[in-house]
Amino acid sequence: MNSKFLFATLLLAVIIASVLHKYNTSKGDEEKAMDVLIPSLKEVKKVLPEGTDVAFYNEKLNFEVYLWCRYILAPHYASIEKDAKHDTALSVYDVQAPDSLVNAFVKPRKTIWQHKDGKYQYYLTTTAR
């Protein structure tokens, strides 16, 4: 064994592990939830202009959903602060959330984009009419 053999073997190991990881299936609930969120939020990223940040609104949803969305949306910043001054807001509701809950936030605003998947419903809205 010499250095070349060592590094070639390591490189091969990294390639194999990376390919396996790419096609690895999600195990925990957290990963499965992210798997659902990623394709849906990919669409939001297409709609959002580069450098735009959004306010995040997820009434009655687990706080973790915000953290997952924040990660997926980055480098767009999703702000959860009450005093955030972004005119665009992304609201995420459980798919079974009652219409009254959704409308309370979405209806007074202009909806730019909306989407529903197996777990959540998404609304990208703006204050501009």
Q: How far apart are alpha carbons 44 and 20 in whole angstroms? A: 29
Query: In this structure, are residues 126 and 87 in contact, taking their beta carbons and an 8 Å threshold?
Result: yes
User: Interface with other proteins includes 27 (CB under 8 A)?
Assistant: yes
User: Interface with other proteins includes 8 (CB under 8 A)?
Assistant: no
User: Interface with other proteins includes 111 (CB under 8 A)?
Assistant: no
Look up residue 55 and give its two tokens. 């306010």
Among 51, 82, 118, 129, binds other proteins (CB under 8 A): 51
Among 10, 47, 95, 104, binds other proteins (CB under 8 A): 10
Give the side-chain half-sphere CA count within 13 A for 79. Answer: 13
Query: In this structure, are residues 90 and 52 in contact, taking their beta carbons and an 8 Å threshold?
Result: no
Question: What is the side-by-side strand order in the sheet with 88-94?
Answer: 78-79, 54-57, 88-94, 120-126, 110-116
User: Interface with other proteins includes 53 (CB under 8 A)?
Assistant: yes
Among 36, 61, 80, 102, binds other proteins (CB under 8 A): 80
Query: In this structure, are residues 78 and 52 in contact, taking their beta carbons and an 8 Å threshold?
Result: no
User: Interface with other proteins includes 3 (CB under 8 A)?
Assistant: yes
Q: Which residues bind other proteins (CB under 8 A)?
A: 1-3, 5-7, 9-10, 13-14, 16-18, 20-22, 24, 26-28, 30-31, 34-35, 50-51, 53, 67-68, 70-71, 74-75, 77, 79-81
